[in-house]
Structure 1
């Protein structure tokens, strides 16, 4: 039997299964553990060598789990797995307030980019952690500090999910970065989707008379209406198939060259492609719905951004830059 390739994710999953398995059964032969895990014995031995480097914080010899490798590798060994200094793994985990806070913050950050199935698991874990932390400390709830989006964004997402499930229309006050303006519109929600670490409402927009994605952290206000949706009910889009920002006849693809000081653009605005260039520069493709918005962005970035294409945008930006300089004449 050949050894299966082991990725880090699969190896962690095996170790999390192997340690409780050994604790429950005591001494287990290497071949029996391999059969129980469904992997070759060579793979279990490789996992046990990784287990030697695991343990409590500190990293001193007394902190690390010990595995008797001689019994598994030496010719005179009996092939029985013996794991010691890991008794704490059989006891319920007790977290300090600092440890609990760190885990809560990490879970809430993960929640923002998780799919529906993962989000449900994360929410259950958060509820248990916060309840346990509150019970142990006498506090109402551990304060995880500043979290991207905060509680308001979590409530907004919950309201929009309920509106989608009840097929109720929603009135949005929404910031449109491509036009640098606030807009108000009535939408028929289809569901919540996530992509590239951001959460979106997928909905039919009656102002645009077309489906649109609304990033939740750009929603200034949302009011669930009593009126039912009037568009055809459809499930939210699978962004892995359709792409996050599909092109339309109303948009133009612009290519910019950004110096290191302007690299933040790719983190804040939707980009189609990013290509590294020498000196830390980037060449990026952006979908532009309004040329005036692009001019304002470029003036903010000057002198750290240049238009590569289309040529007409490069000329109009140069003219706008000259006009701005004339104001200082």
Structure 2
């Protein structure tokens, strides 16, 4: 089987140590060794001549002489020896990789563990000394399927457990991206049944099947990552509300994000706009009814109508 030719970047990285070990070699012979034409090799040398160390002054650039058909290397800019990580650099990379290995679904665990092993071997340490990742490299097939759908831009059919509603439902979603929040991995996707962007925790997705259709979320849905910091259950919907000043105490007890900082409000006596995360329309209706109109929904006419209808029905019972 014929070997694939190395990329130009890989070839450029190898050229300086190659020529440093073969001083005075002809361009024709070097081109034959490197698997390129003399014309392409000359172009590579012209590019390499402009590379070097930060600062990029003449004394920082790689010094090559090749005008007369033979190559001589004067200054290698350190590229004549393999790159070596310092202890601090290696430790930082190992800590980051071990954190990735402990986050299910973010990356292929076996690939992360292989990278950890290579770095440990390069710096002469062991997994036991550095608290190596304990995972055996296996991960649930559903995690692999989710990442594959995000990578290839395909729609997904999932069975998802909602902790707040305590039920399992089937949904078709259009994947947007994968997010990591508080050591949990989430699939951010457009939920076709909810008609909105939702975050689905990886470990609550029972099954995932890639569909034979592209992921097609609305363009505006993919522009801004969905916030997963507002709630312990960030797959829940949200609604915009107005809060009268007398009821601002609810900010300390419910998952509500004010539209503006309280101390910066131009009129402290005006209602405060905010965003409320809720579990179900039924819960939200009961919540709003309890405030007698002092907390109002402003972004969902359907829920507002439900609140009015329910309040009238309750009042009629006293007639």
Q: What band does the TM-score fall into relative to the shorter chain?
A: 0.3 to 0.5
**When you count helix as a share of all residues, which structure comes out higher?**
1
- Specify the structure having the higher radius of gyration (Cα): 2
Normalised to the residue count of structure 2, the TM-score between the two structures is: 0.43
